Structure 1
Amino acid sequence: MLCAARAAAGEGGAVQTAAAQAGADPAEAQRLRQGVRADYVLQCAGCHRVDGRGSSRHGIPDFRDSVGAFVHMPAGREYLIRVPGAAQSQLNDAELAAVLNWVLEEFSPAQLPADFRPYGEEEVAEARRRRYEDVVPVRHALAKALAQRGFPLAEYSYGSDRKP
């Protein structure tokens, strides 16, 4: 939805959503953007904070200039859907897709690949059905693989006593 707002408002953006492609007017695009931001504030900001900085002291990673790295790998892309705070949120699949797209463009646009494909409702529905038994080793494995590809992630101290 963020991209719909940017495209409709003439601001550009790395991705285009269905709303932008449908020709949403700037006022409607702004309303959609505000709704997605509100969903982020209500469902995510309690831990990741309104500005996306997280709390490393409490094991909550910083989204800023980092979270976009995940979408460079299919497993990382899926991780963002399946991480417990997202997968178990009260958001429906379409809302979660919109929030994920907003988070990526709002907090980590420079890390997104040029060919970034926005999350969609069907992709979210498929992935979030499968819960991680333990998210910590998944995160550590992704961090290692992404670092080898030149994409370091923000500090993640949750479960740090179980680092490989």
Structure 2
Amino acid sequence: MSGIRAGLLSCLALALPAAAGAGETGSARHDGLLESMGASVSAYKDYMLNCGGCHRYDGEGVSRNAVPSFRNSIGLFTRLPEGREYMIRVPGAAQSQLGNAELADVLNWMVANYSPGELAPDFRPFTAGEVGAARPYRFDDVVAARRRLEARLRQLGLTPAPYLYGSN
């Protein structure tokens, strides 16, 4: 077994208990959906290989390096159509080597594991079609896009994790 594979499996052992209980913090309506989205081993592997280096295996991010936490936060973005689009279009997601279906699975895994309590009651999972439609459009200024979304969420009484990139 390669070192990378062994590392992934040991990290998976840490993450799957959280995935199995992800629906416990969400509404009862989401339980089955969250469990199926949160228990995907391939999505977890893709998260670790494409996102975990910056956002960490536990989704905490690294605030001192301006990498936001996904914990109790990333699900808030799914409440707005432009928030869902933002999640797809951020450079780390849009420019990853993942296919559209794989990226959709990773986004679903992230919200199921790190932020199920913040999902709207009418949450619908990301799809390959949704990802494929938004992904080609790059942000001219990702920081400005994030700030606009934060302002919209604040109007709804919601506060995502701090994003300190570009802050003085």
The TM-score by the shorter chain falls in which range? Answer: 0.7 to 0.9
| 1:75-114 correspondence to structure 2 within 5 Å | 75-114=82-121
Match of 1:51 among 25, 49, 58: 58
Aligned to 2:5: none
TM-score with structure 1 setting the length: 0.80
Aligned residues: 142
Q: One-letter code of the match for 2:123?
A: F
Aligned residues: CA RMSD: 2.3
Aligned to 1:38: 45
Q: Deviations over 1:117-155 (max 9, x none)?
A: 000000000100101011000000100110110110101
Q: Deviations over 1:31-67 (max 9, x none)?
A: x711110000000000000000001100100000001
Distance in 2, matches of 1:152 and 1:16, equals 24
Distance in 1, matches of 2:166 and 2:58, equals 24
Asked if 1 retains the 8 angstrom alpha-carbon contact of 2:59 and 2:71, the reply is yes
Aligned to 1:74: 81
Q: One-letter code of the match for 1:68?
A: G
SS of the residue aligned with 1:150?
coil
What percent of counterpart residues are identical?
49
Aligned to 1:136: 143
Distance in 1, matches of 2:98 and 2:129, equals 14
Distance in 2, matches of 1:159 and 1:128, equals 23
Pairwise CA distance, 1:16: 3.9
Q: One-letter code of the match for 1:110?
A: G
TM-score with structure 2 setting the length: 0.78
* Contiguous gaps of at least 5 residues in structure 2: 1-15, 21-27
Moved over 2 A (4+): none
Q: Deviations over 1:5-51 (max 9, x none)?
A: 97xxxxx872649xx7xxxxxxxx99x71111000000000000000
SS of the residue aligned with 1:160?
coil
